[in-house]
Structure 1
Amino acid sequence: MSTSRSRETRSRESTVLAATRPPHAARRRAVQAALAASISGLMFGWDAMALNVVKNALQFHTGSGSGLIGFAVAFGVLSAVLGAFLAGRLSDRIGRRAIMVVSAVLFIVASTGTAFIGDSMALFLVWRLFSGMAMGAAMTIAPAYVSETAPADMRGMLVSLRQFMLIIGLFVCGLLGDAMLAAAPSPAGDAPLSTARLGLLGLHLEVWQWAFLSVAAGGLIYLIASLLVPESPRFLIARGRVKEARGVLVRTLGETSVDARVQEISESLGGHSIGGFRSLLNRSGTNLQRIVWVGIGLAALQQLVGINAIFYYATTIFSTIGFGEQAALQQTLILTAVKIAAIVTGMLLVDRVGRRPLLLVGSISMFAALVMTAVVMLTAPQVAGPDGALSPDLAGSPGRAALALVALCLYVFAYAGTWGPIMWVLIGEMFPNRLRGAATSVAGGVEWASNFAVTLTFPVLAAWSIGSTYVLYAAVALLSIGFVVKFVPETKNLELEQMDDFSN
């Protein structure tokens, strides 16, 4: 009875505190902290575009087959699983900001190392291990950090900033890659254009090398920004550093109600040891808590709808639709513009409409777009490629090609405005304070593992039947509708200390 009364009291207090709007200066500092953490999204987009540039050059220099090249590109995603799994739990010991700093250093070292691998596939894989771990750690810790420093009424928008920065990274680095390729002289013989040498800053390096050095420059920006922001106040209170935590809360919430917030956070942690994977188990110790399973489901579904198959292999998909190689790259940039429009829309709505309604709209829209694309692909004329595999030929059917492009843009818009950012919003906020580090590790690891599975299987599935592959992704989108309706809680405008209700 006393536990229930205490929980109800905390819930009422949280509601009152959530209604207290922080002053403008405090909200500005919260935005600055969110921007620093969101540079991890910029790094993801930057690195992904560098990988797009290096694929042909890597095959040319190492003599590796397409299978090994595909694995090498995906290997960074696999190592991100390890980085994500370690980040949340380790952040309970050394701090959220410390994970950001370590990740930034790894970005700088690994990207610089990748630029000078010569013709060694082994060295490429070694550096992809470290850059992938940095990516997994940085991308996973950002939602937790932002959630723990942001006011409740703008938390969804601020966590979504990371997805916005990811898309900006893709767009900016895509333009940068195009500019370098356009400026470089044509390489000799049949060498790919990405191996052309470009003279900058007194160095004559190949275009793909400059792409990775630009990633290292981004890592330096991330490092500086991470060193300038405060530590999470909830981590500080969990470690007994209440005075420091109070200072951070004053900066991000203002003087009003800070003492009450400190007390509420302390009570939410009282009697429980923070973190530890054992804390994720239910009371009987035989299964994970329901809210942890919800996080795992969200993380898996976000990737299994197939977005990263398009993300990593956009040029290949557009070529299949019937565009030439140069036009396909331009269409990839068009998709990036669609993503920017979508994420801005989602950021404006997430704290007004709520998380669940946007997820449902996204799932329904993705399902419709994927079904439309599958029908186009399956009914199009099939032509045999050099290896004898059949693929849809839309070059001679402008109507089908246009319909496929519209459906693809609708799918990308729906994902980028809903499931892309909102899954991470929920992962960062819906776990109780005492579980957040460990639960975020598990959910982040599942997200990256699902990412790897899609990245690795898409070429095989597409070679089998790209139309049927879209049918499989449509089935996952349909499944996500039922999952949201039955399991996903609404967390709009709730304080993090109210999330205990979901684990009980």
Structure 2
Amino acid sequence: MAGGFAEDGRNLKRAHLYESRITGYFIFACIVGSMGGSLFGYDLGVSGGVTSMDDFLKEFFPKVFRRKQAHLHETDYCKYDNQILTLFTSSLYFAGLISTFAASYVTRSKGRRGSILVGSISFFLGAILNAAAVNVFMLIVGRIFLGIGIGFGNQAVPLYLSEMAPAKVRGAVNQLFQLTTCLGILVANIINYFTEQIHPWGWRLSLGLATVPATLMFIGGLILPETPNSLVERDRLEEAKRILIKVRGTTNIDAEFTDLIEASNAAKAVKHPFRNLLARRNRPQLVLGALGIPAFQQLTGNNSILFYAPVMFQTLGFGSNASLFSTLITGVALVVAALISMALVDKFGRRFFFLEAGAEMFIYMITVAISLAISFGDGKELPKGLGTFLVIIICLFVLAYGRSWGPLGWLVPSELFPLETRSAGQSMVVCVNLIFTALIAQLFLVSLCHLKFGIFLLFATLILIMSSFIYFLLPETKQVPIEEVYLLFQSHWFWKRIVGEETHDAATQMAQKGESTV
């Protein structure tokens, strides 16, 4: 079968010996650490709203503004088709994907907190530049600094949360990253709704307020404890043990600490972690965690909606104010979905949410495509009833994504990698995610212009493919200690043929002898 083996105790070594309680110290560390998600969320929410504001377009993209005014209340799939305008959004993600390799080094050598601090400073500088921009060049440079901040933040925060959390609640804790991302989107949508009415500098306020989540992330980086995994990795064993006792709320941490030591020994033997990702024993983590899941997370089409929701609603005939209001609804849907996922993902499992929501998302994309094909055309006004129907369908789609591919696209990869490749693996996750995020941001509007309703059929096809990918290849990881997840692949119907049963243990033994596994 294609299912997981998370609950088969015979496949795990010491999981039954782990002890933990939910302490105030642990809750504090996770809430503060998750603030990094608000950077990503705020930018996702703010950029689409700003690019639809008249004052912003008049100052930087006057041709787009004139075309928008000519088709204000009509359907025009090409209304916002301008590659420089989309570069305003996508440049951030291109910068993020490049910076993630530097973030991997910082995360591994200086700790998860080090990456959080670097990311917050860069994001703060980018927000200042964007708010003060007087030309497109300043806008793009500001976006590059924001991208560096997101590259570092997205590298460190999911790892931080997964490593701090005990196995039984790791799914819910890791999804704090998604929750703060969704809250960032919602806050940005609310701010855009009001600043759009402040002429002519409301857009500057929207962009400048990105300094707030950056400041919160910086303060968090100063006061957070480092993860025990990272401390062990850097030979600070006594400090690691002390932190592990505090976050687990018990002195009986010998089994978990032993696993951390073994994982660290294997990690130290790896001199080239990126090359080690290609090793046969790490093939499942590479295919699932570093490539497939982060790529498919963007190919759902959801971020196209988040990036360009105000633009898209205006393209379909909504007025400027109405389109921004519609994005508020999608923002609320994302927050609700994140709370649902946090509450239930450790009960029902990762595969259930991937597959159930995938079926819903497929149906919603087909519905949107059919509605557009039948009722829309260039120059037509949007019927009010159909417009309301489309907003509802899009919100249902966002609700499905927000409890599945959105949070699990970060949670599951952060669970899969052994410590020896974890920072390199997370860099690949962020890199692949940002490559596809940037491509979607850069190509969605031109694709909408040329494919029209067909783009939603394309997303529906991709959702079908990615759901099949999960069904056949991903084992269930709920409630499995993070340092023992690799054992699931030794029992999986497909992956056991590739990794065998002894590869990771052999690597650990070699590490203990001081030999290189590269």
Q: Give the TM-score range, shorter chain.
A: 0.7 to 0.9
Instruction: List structure 1 runs of 4+ shifted beyond 6 angstroms.
Output: none
1:385-396 equivalence runs, <5 A: 393=380, 395-396=382-383
Q: How far is 1:494 from its partner?
A: 0.6
Q: How far is 1:211 from its partner?
A: 2.1
Contact 1:15 1:495 in 2 (8 A): no
State the one-letter code of the partner of 2:287: W
- Identify which of 294, 302, 322 aligns with 1:299: 294
State the one-letter code of the partner of 1:95: G
1:63-212 equivalence runs, <5 A: 63=61, 66-118=82-134, 120-182=135-197, 184=198, 193=199, 196=200, 206-212=201-207
Deviations 1:47-69 (A, max 9, x none): 33442454344443345753312
Which shows bigger deviation, 374-383 or 142-151? 374-383
Q: Could you tell me which residue of structure 2 aligns to residue 371 of structure 1?
A: 366
Answering whether residue 439 of structure 2 is matched by residue 448 of structure 1, we say: no
Measure, in 1, the Cα distance between the counterparts of 2:247 and 2:260: 15
State the one-letter code of the partner of 1:279: N
Change over 3 Å in CA distance of 1:335–1:62 after alignment to 2: closer
Measure, in 2, the Cα distance between the counterparts of 1:407 and 1:177: 23
Q: How far is 1:283 from its partner?
A: 4.4
SS of 2:35's equivalent in the other structure is: helix
Q: Could you tell me which residue of structure 1 aligns to residue 459 of structure 2?
A: 473
- Identify which of 257, 260, 278 aligns with 1:265: 260
Answering whether residue 343 of structure 2 is matched by residue 343 of structure 1, we say: no
Q: How far is 1:149 from its partner?
A: 0.7
SS of 1:383's equivalent in the other structure is: coil
Answering whether residue 31 of structure 2 is matched by residue 31 of structure 1, we say: no
Measure, in 2, the Cα distance between the counterparts of 1:217 and 1:407: 33
Q: Could you tell me which residue of structure 2 aligns to residue 201 of structure 1?
A: none
Contact 1:107 1:216 in 2 (8 A): yes
Measure, in 2, the Cα distance between the counterparts of 1:16 and 1:484: 30
1:296-445 equivalence runs, <5 A: 296-384=291-379, 393=380, 395-396=382-383, 398=385, 400-445=386-431
Q: Could you tell me which residue of structure 1 aligns to residue 279 of structure 2?
A: 282
Measure, in 1, the Cα distance between the counterparts of 2:366 and 2:381: 17
Change over 3 Å in CA distance of 1:300–1:283 after alignment to 2: closer
Deviations 1:335-388 (A, max 9, x none): 11111111111111111111111111111111011111111111114234xxxx
Measure, in 2, the Cα distance between the counterparts of 1:293 and 1:97: 28
Q: Could you tell me which residue of structure 1 aligns to residue 231 of structure 2?
A: 236
Contact 2:11 2:488 in 1 (8 A): no
Which shows bigger deviation, 468-477 or 133-142? 133-142
Q: Could you tell me which residue of structure 2 aligns to residue 42 of structure 1?
A: 38
Corresponding pairs, count: 459
1:8-23 equivalence runs, <5 A: 11-17=12-18, 20=19, 22-23=20-21
State the one-letter code of the partner of 1:75: S
State the one-letter code of the partner of 1:39: M
Contact 1:380 1:394 in 2 (8 A): no
Measure, in 2, the Cα distance between the counterparts of 1:381 and 1:209: 34
Q: Could you tell me which residue of structure 1 aligns to residue 47 of structure 2?
A: 51
Measure, in 2, the Cα distance between the counterparts of 1:308 and 1:9: 40
SS of 2:479's equivalent in the other structure is: coil
Change over 3 Å in CA distance of 1:397–1:64 after alignment to 2: closer
State the one-letter code of the partner of 1:173: A
Change over 3 Å in CA distance of 1:411–1:60 after alignment to 2: same
Which shows bigger deviation, 37-46 or 338-347? 37-46
Contact 1:376 1:403 in 2 (8 A): no
Instruction: Tell me the TM-score normalised to structure 1 length.
Output: 0.86
State the one-letter code of the partner of 2:236: R
Contact 1:371 1:474 in 2 (8 A): yes
Measure, in 1, the Cα distance between the counterparts of 2:49 and 2:326: 16
State the one-letter code of the partner of 2:37: G
Q: How far is 1:14 from its partner?
A: 1.8
% identity of equivalent residues: 25
Contact 1:280 1:292 in 2 (8 A): yes
Contact 1:89 1:276 in 2 (8 A): no
Change over 3 Å in CA distance of 1:235–1:10 after alignment to 2: farther
Give ranges in structure 1 of 5+ residues lacking alignment: 1-7, 185-192, 197-205, 385-392
Q: Could you tell me which residue of structure 1 aligns to residue 512 of structure 2?
A: none
SS of 1:255's equivalent in the other structure is: coil
Measure, in 1, the Cα distance between the counterparts of 2:409 and 2:459: 18
